[in-house]
Amino acid sequence: MGFFAIMNPIANTPIFLSLTSQDNTKTTKRIALRALLLAFVIVVAFSVLGKVIFDLFGITLPAFQITGGFIVLLIGYHMLQGNASSVHQLNEEDSQEAIDAKLSVAISPLAMPLLAGPGTIATAMNFSAGGSLFEMVTTILAFAVLCVITYFIFIFGERFVTFIGAGALGVITRMMGLILAVIGVQMLIEGIHGAFPLHVS
Protein backbone atom coordinates (compact mmCIF):
# COMPACT_ATOMS: atom_id res chain seq x y z
CA MET A 1 0.00 0.00 0.00
CA GLY A 2 2.93 2.31 0.65
CA PHE A 3 4.23 1.71 -2.87
CA PHE A 4 0.74 2.13 -4.31
CA ALA A 5 0.34 5.50 -2.61
CA ILE A 6 3.74 6.73 -3.81
CA MET A 7 3.61 5.43 -7.41
CA ASN A 8 -0.16 6.06 -7.72
CA PRO A 9 -0.95 4.17 -10.96
CA ILE A 10 -4.50 5.56 -11.03
CA ALA A 11 -3.26 9.14 -11.23
CA ASN A 12 -0.50 8.21 -13.70
CA THR A 13 -2.89 6.48 -16.12
CA PRO A 14 -4.21 9.70 -17.75
CA ILE A 15 -0.59 10.87 -18.12
CA PHE A 16 0.31 7.55 -19.76
CA LEU A 17 -2.68 7.82 -22.10
CA SER A 18 -1.74 11.37 -23.04
CA LEU A 19 1.84 10.39 -23.83
CA THR A 20 0.70 7.43 -25.98
CA SER A 21 -2.47 8.93 -27.46
CA GLN A 22 -1.22 8.75 -31.08
CA ASP A 23 0.39 5.32 -30.84
CA ASN A 24 -1.23 2.06 -31.91
CA THR A 25 -2.22 -0.69 -29.47
CA LYS A 26 0.92 -2.75 -29.99
CA THR A 27 3.22 0.22 -29.40
CA THR A 28 1.22 1.31 -26.35
CA LYS A 29 1.59 -2.13 -24.79
CA ARG A 30 5.31 -2.15 -25.52
CA ILE A 31 5.71 1.27 -23.92
CA ALA A 32 3.81 0.18 -20.80
CA LEU A 33 5.79 -3.06 -20.51
CA ARG A 34 9.15 -1.38 -21.07
CA ALA A 35 8.40 1.43 -18.60
CA LEU A 36 7.30 -0.95 -15.85
CA LEU A 37 10.17 -3.39 -16.40
CA LEU A 38 12.65 -0.52 -16.19
CA ALA A 39 10.93 0.88 -13.10
CA PHE A 40 11.11 -2.58 -11.52
CA VAL A 41 14.84 -2.92 -12.28
CA ILE A 42 15.49 0.54 -10.81
CA VAL A 43 13.59 -0.21 -7.61
CA VAL A 44 15.29 -3.60 -7.22
CA ALA A 45 18.71 -1.99 -7.73
CA PHE A 46 18.06 0.67 -5.11
CA SER A 47 16.46 -1.82 -2.72
CA VAL A 48 19.61 -3.95 -2.82
CA LEU A 49 22.33 -1.36 -3.40
CA GLY A 50 20.66 1.98 -2.66
CA LYS A 51 23.19 3.52 -0.32
CA VAL A 52 26.09 2.06 -2.30
CA ILE A 53 24.82 3.63 -5.56
CA PHE A 54 24.26 7.03 -3.97
CA ASP A 55 27.65 6.98 -2.24
CA LEU A 56 29.48 5.66 -5.32
CA PHE A 57 28.34 8.55 -7.50
CA GLY A 58 28.17 11.12 -4.72
CA ILE A 59 24.43 11.56 -5.30
CA THR A 60 22.00 12.84 -2.69
CA LEU A 61 18.25 12.29 -2.69
CA PRO A 62 17.54 16.07 -2.84
CA ALA A 63 19.71 16.36 -5.97
CA PHE A 64 17.76 13.48 -7.51
CA GLN A 65 14.48 15.18 -6.63
CA ILE A 66 15.55 18.52 -8.11
CA THR A 67 16.72 16.94 -11.38
CA GLY A 68 13.59 14.80 -11.67
CA GLY A 69 11.46 17.85 -10.91
CA PHE A 70 13.00 19.80 -13.78
CA ILE A 71 12.37 16.91 -16.20
CA VAL A 72 8.73 16.46 -15.16
CA LEU A 73 8.12 20.22 -15.18
CA LEU A 74 9.50 20.56 -18.73
CA ILE A 75 7.42 17.67 -20.08
CA GLY A 76 4.32 18.98 -18.33
CA TYR A 77 4.90 22.43 -19.84
CA HIS A 78 5.00 21.02 -23.39
CA MET A 79 1.86 18.95 -22.75
CA LEU A 80 0.14 22.06 -21.36
CA GLN A 81 0.92 23.92 -24.59
CA GLY A 82 -0.61 21.07 -26.58
CA ASN A 83 2.68 20.40 -28.36
CA ALA A 84 3.01 16.85 -29.61
CA SER A 85 6.62 15.81 -29.78
CA SER A 86 8.11 14.24 -32.89
CA VAL A 87 7.74 10.91 -31.11
CA HIS A 88 3.97 11.19 -31.51
CA GLN A 89 3.99 12.23 -35.17
CA LEU A 90 5.26 8.98 -36.65
CA ASN A 91 3.28 6.40 -38.60
CA GLU A 92 3.25 2.66 -39.13
CA GLU A 93 5.86 2.77 -41.91
CA ASP A 94 8.52 4.39 -39.74
CA SER A 95 12.03 3.00 -39.48
CA GLN A 96 13.36 1.12 -36.49
CA GLU A 97 14.97 4.35 -35.28
CA ALA A 98 11.56 6.04 -35.32
CA ILE A 99 9.98 3.14 -33.43
CA ASP A 100 12.74 3.37 -30.84
CA ALA A 101 11.98 7.09 -30.55
CA LYS A 102 8.35 6.26 -29.80
CA LEU A 103 9.42 3.84 -27.10
CA SER A 104 11.72 6.44 -25.53
CA VAL A 105 8.83 7.86 -23.47
CA ALA A 106 8.90 4.55 -21.58
CA ILE A 107 12.26 5.60 -20.16
CA SER A 108 11.53 9.26 -19.49
CA PRO A 109 9.19 10.40 -18.09
CA LEU A 110 7.32 7.14 -17.42
CA ALA A 111 9.88 4.79 -15.84
CA MET A 112 11.80 7.66 -14.29
CA PRO A 113 10.85 9.90 -12.64
CA LEU A 114 7.10 9.12 -12.61
CA LEU A 115 6.97 5.40 -11.76
CA ALA A 116 10.39 4.97 -10.16
CA GLY A 117 10.91 8.51 -8.97
CA PRO A 118 12.62 9.83 -5.84
CA GLY A 119 9.64 8.99 -3.64
CA THR A 120 9.42 5.39 -4.86
CA ILE A 121 13.18 4.90 -4.56
CA ALA A 122 13.25 6.40 -1.07
CA THR A 123 10.31 4.17 -0.07
CA ALA A 124 12.04 1.05 -1.41
CA MET A 125 15.26 1.92 0.39
CA ASN A 126 13.32 2.55 3.60
CA PHE A 127 11.37 -0.73 3.39
CA SER A 128 14.55 -2.75 2.85
CA ALA A 129 16.64 -0.70 5.27
CA GLY A 130 16.55 -3.43 7.91
CA GLY A 131 19.08 -5.31 5.83
CA SER A 132 17.54 -8.75 6.28
CA LEU A 133 16.88 -10.94 3.24
CA PHE A 134 13.20 -11.29 4.17
CA GLU A 135 12.60 -7.51 4.17
CA MET A 136 14.44 -7.11 0.88
CA VAL A 137 12.56 -9.94 -0.86
CA THR A 138 9.22 -8.70 0.52
CA THR A 139 9.91 -5.21 -0.80
CA ILE A 140 10.82 -6.50 -4.27
CA LEU A 141 7.81 -8.85 -4.47
CA ALA A 142 5.42 -6.11 -3.34
CA PHE A 143 6.68 -3.78 -6.05
CA ALA A 144 6.50 -6.57 -8.66
CA VAL A 145 2.82 -7.12 -7.85
CA LEU A 146 2.18 -3.37 -8.14
CA CYS A 147 3.92 -3.29 -11.54
CA VAL A 148 1.63 -6.05 -12.85
CA ILE A 149 -1.44 -4.21 -11.56
CA THR A 150 -0.23 -0.94 -13.09
CA TYR A 151 0.35 -2.61 -16.47
CA PHE A 152 -3.25 -3.77 -16.72
CA ILE A 153 -4.53 -0.38 -15.54
CA PHE A 154 -2.50 1.31 -18.29
CA ILE A 155 -3.55 -1.13 -21.02
CA PHE A 156 -7.28 -1.13 -20.25
CA GLY A 157 -7.12 2.65 -20.10
CA GLU A 158 -7.16 2.53 -23.90
CA ARG A 159 -10.88 1.78 -23.78
CA PHE A 160 -11.32 5.08 -22.01
CA VAL A 161 -9.57 6.86 -24.90
CA THR A 162 -11.84 5.16 -27.44
CA PHE A 163 -14.90 6.13 -25.44
CA ILE A 164 -14.14 9.83 -24.98
CA GLY A 165 -12.64 10.50 -28.42
CA ALA A 166 -9.58 12.42 -29.62
CA GLY A 167 -10.98 15.90 -28.91
CA ALA A 168 -11.68 15.22 -25.26
CA LEU A 169 -8.28 13.55 -24.94
CA GLY A 170 -6.67 16.78 -26.12
CA VAL A 171 -8.32 18.60 -23.23
CA ILE A 172 -7.23 15.88 -20.82
CA THR A 173 -3.68 16.10 -22.19
CA ARG A 174 -3.54 19.80 -21.27
CA MET A 175 -5.02 19.11 -17.84
CA MET A 176 -2.50 16.34 -17.24
CA GLY A 177 0.23 18.68 -18.46
CA LEU A 178 -0.75 21.13 -15.74
CA ILE A 179 -0.82 18.38 -13.12
CA LEU A 180 2.52 17.03 -14.34
CA ALA A 181 4.03 20.51 -14.13
CA VAL A 182 2.73 20.88 -10.57
CA ILE A 183 4.20 17.48 -9.67
CA GLY A 184 7.52 18.68 -11.07
CA VAL A 185 7.36 21.87 -8.99
CA GLN A 186 6.51 19.82 -5.89
CA MET A 187 9.52 17.59 -6.51
CA LEU A 188 11.67 20.70 -6.89
CA ILE A 189 10.34 22.15 -3.62
CA GLU A 190 11.01 18.90 -1.75
CA GLY A 191 14.49 18.65 -3.27
CA ILE A 192 15.38 22.25 -2.39
CA HIS A 193 13.95 21.82 1.11
CA GLY A 194 16.02 18.67 1.55
CA ALA A 195 19.17 20.37 0.28
CA PHE A 196 18.62 23.56 2.29
CA PRO A 197 16.55 22.61 5.34
CA LEU A 198 14.98 25.49 7.22
CA HIS A 199 15.56 25.46 10.95
CA VAL A 200 12.61 27.06 12.69
CA SER A 201 13.18 27.78 16.38
Boundaries of every domain in the chain: 2-194
Amino acid 37: pLDDT? 94
Q: Which residues, including other chains, have CB under 8 Å from residue 122's CB and lie 6 or more apart?
A: 61
Task: Report the alpha-carbon distance of residue 131 to residue 74 in Å, rounded.
Answer: 37
Amino acid 151: pLDDT? 93
Q: Closest Cα to residue 112, out of 75, 156, 153, 149? A: 75
Continuous segment of H or E residues that includes residue 18: helix 9-19
Amino acid 157: pLDDT? 78
What's the distance, CA 105 to chain centroid? 10
Amino acid 55: pLDDT? 78
Rounded to 10 degrees, the C-alpha dihedral 167/169/171/177 comes to -150
Walk along the chain (201 residues) and give the pLDDT tens digit of each residue.
767 767 778 777 877 887 887 778 888 889 999 999 999 999 998 888 877 777 788 878 788 778 878 877 887 787 777 654 433 333 444 455 555 666 777 887 788 878 887 778 877 876 775 667 888 888 899 999 999 999 998 888 777 666 766 677 677 667 777 877 887 888 789 889 888 876 544
Task: Report the alpha-carbon distance of residue 51 to residue 128 in Å, rounded.
Answer: 11
- Give the pTM: 0.66
Answer left, alpha or beta for residue 101, where phi above 0 means left and psi between -120 and 50 means alpha.
alpha
Amino acid 181: pLDDT? 82
Continuous segment of H or E residues that includes residue 197: none
Amino acid 91: pLDDT? 45
Q: Which residues, including other chains, have CB under 8 Å from residue 194's CB and lie 6 or more apart?
A: 60, 61, 62, 65
